[in-house]
Amino acid sequence: MSKSTEIAVAITREEAVSQLLASGNEPTLADCIKVFNWQEFPEKHFSTEQKVTRIYFGGEFCDRLLPDKKIMQRVLNLIEQHQLSLSLLTPLLSDSALARLKQVFAILPKGTEVVVNDWGTLNILRREYKHLTPIIGRQLCKMIKDPRLPSEQWTKLYPHGVQSGPFHQLLKRFDIERIEMDVPPFAKVVDFESEDKSVSAHFPYGFSVKGRMCKIGAMEIETHRKFGPGHGCNKECLTYSAKVSRGCSSSTQDEQAVNVTASQSSKQPLTQTPKAPDLRTFQQGNTMFYRHTEEMTETLAQAVAQNKVNRMIFEGDWHEDYRPH
């Protein structure tokens, strides 16, 4: 990893920030491995002695995980005590959530980064909170990230929108200097090229799809009310995650189907492109995530080494392996 690469950790819970910074020393990735129960950390690509210099705090996918003004002030004080930088994570926002978030915007110091994942929030930041620095979140950097993609050929049908001319024209209009990206399936180093914008990449999970309805949050709700609007939230996503598998994605089954078809035909059998297995997938709250493969991690490491990615965002406390108890 390049020495110039900035290391950030994304955290949802106030207590998780306190836990990471409890020692009083500048946190390292080794500390994060211990505190957040990170599994399968690729030490051959990323040194665990790297210092964490930035905390991403907030809710990237659900406005119910956003901090209120009091929580934000406490976290801000703690981060400033340790001389770390802050980026506020924000999701796609409802009108009511945006009204609450404006109270948080008002207390953030000049230059604080706000990661935006909807264009309305970006517009308001540029008009009303010019002292803050908006960053384009990964939900606005459109890419094909279906964990079921069987081969690289499928990605060629719909190129990543993050490299499109109109997208960058829009970024220029809002004077954006940094964007955030996931590592897509079958990633190549060129995927992280972004003209004159700085690029941050999330690791080791990418998001595939999200919605407003929360499967995990509906566990204890009566059947007829599940997935409906208006019910409360106990933030079950902070405790539970669900592994997801199709159960029918083995390449062996597909090969058998091709062989049967070929044996029933007098024509020359068709050749089949080797199929990649589904990525490891889990659901956290209202969002589906996939874990990077070794090949994807290798590609990201190359992009970092070539300085195409100059900030890495490690997922802290909101993932399949972390438990608050």
With respect to residue 108, please indicate whether it lies within any of the assigned structural domains: yes
Rounded CA-CA distance 198/118 in Å is 19
How many Cα atoms sit within 13 Å of 229 on the Cβ side? 3
Does any domain span residue 231? no
> Which burial class, exposed, middle or buried, applies to 112 when counting CB atoms under 10 A from its CB (0-12, 13-18, 19+)?
middle
What value does the mean pLDDT of the chain take? 87
Residue 181 lies in a domain: yes
- Segment 95-118 mean pLDDT: 96
pLDDT tens readout for residues 227-244: 776 677 888 888 888 888
pLDDT of 6-23, one tens digit each? 999 999 999 999 999 998
322 — pLDDT class (breaks 50, 70, 90): low
Residue 257 lies in a domain: no
CB 116 within 8 A of CB 82: no
Higher pLDDT, residue 194 or 38: 38
Residue 6 near residue 310 (C-beta atoms within 8 A):
yes
Task: Write out pLDDT tens, residues 47-70.
Answer: 999 999 999 999 999 999 999 999
> How many structural domains does the chain have?
1
Identify the domain containing residue 303 by its residue range.
6-210+287-315
Residue 149 lies in a domain: yes
Lowest-pLDDT choice from 65-79, 109-123, 145-159, 196-210: 145-159
Let me know if residue 217 belongs to a domain. no
Q: Are 225 and 219 in contact (CB under 8 A)?
A: no
CATH code for position 119: 3.20.20.70
pLDDT confidence of residue 273: 60
| Residue 33 host element (H or E) | helix 29-36
95, 123 in Cβ contact below 8 A?
Answer: no
Rounded CA gap, 60 and 67, in Å?
11
In a domain, 271, yes or no: no
Has residue 229 been placed in a domain?
Answer: no
Summarised one tens digit per residue, pLDDT across range 249-281 is: 544 444 443 343 334 444 555 455 667 788 888
